[in-house]
Structure 1
Amino acid sequence: MTYPDFQAPAELYLGSSWQTAAAQGSRSFRTAANAIRFALEHAAPVSLRGARLSIGNAEYSGADLHELYRSANYPLQRKH
């Protein structure tokens, strides 16, 4: 996986399916790291099924979010 710039602005879509996530619209985050943290630490787990994270021209799925969060490149402290 190519890792994004975790400090870049990001748009996060959450929903039980991609159609639901797209219909609900995105939530903007100042950094991709904060968007990933929100998705994995605060959002309902079912909402990751249709999740998409957009960072510039790159898009990541809900499954990708888990990998990004566990990455050694992830800059924020993880919740225990």
Structure 2
Amino acid sequence: MTTIDYAAAADFYPGRTSRRSQGLHYRRFASAAEAVQFVAEEMEPAFLKGSLLEVDEQRFEGADILALYAHRSFPLARRKAS
């Protein structure tokens, strides 16, 4: 798995389905950790398809974002089991 700087700013682009169904739009997060936590804890897994997280020119899609959340190096407290 690719490592990322969880402290770096991150851009989140929701997939089409989540834009329509959940009313999500592009969001900029102060840290990748906050973006990953938002995706893992606030979004329904079914809406991850097509979603993209960009951190320091690295791109992560759907299940890869959840893998960042589950990784032992994730720095924030998790609110629910991953």
> What's the CA shift for 1:51?
1.0
TM-score relative to the length of structure 2: 0.80
> What is the alpha-carbon distance in structure 2 between the residues aligned to residue 16 and residue 63 of structure 1?
16
Are residues 1:2 and 2:39 paired? no
Query: Secondary structure of the equivalent of 2:39?
Result: helix
Q: Which amino acid aligns with 1:76?
A: L
> What is the alpha-carbon distance in structure 2 between the residues aligned to residue 71 and residue 31 of structure 1?
16
1:3-56 CA-partner distances (Å, limit 9, x unpaired): 100000000111246xx8xxx752100000000111111123332111110002
Superposition RMSD in Å:
1.8
> How many pairs does the alignment contain?
75
Runs of 4+ in 1 over 3 A off after TM superposition: none
Identity value in percent: 35
1:13·1:27 contact (CA, 8 Å) conserved in 2? yes
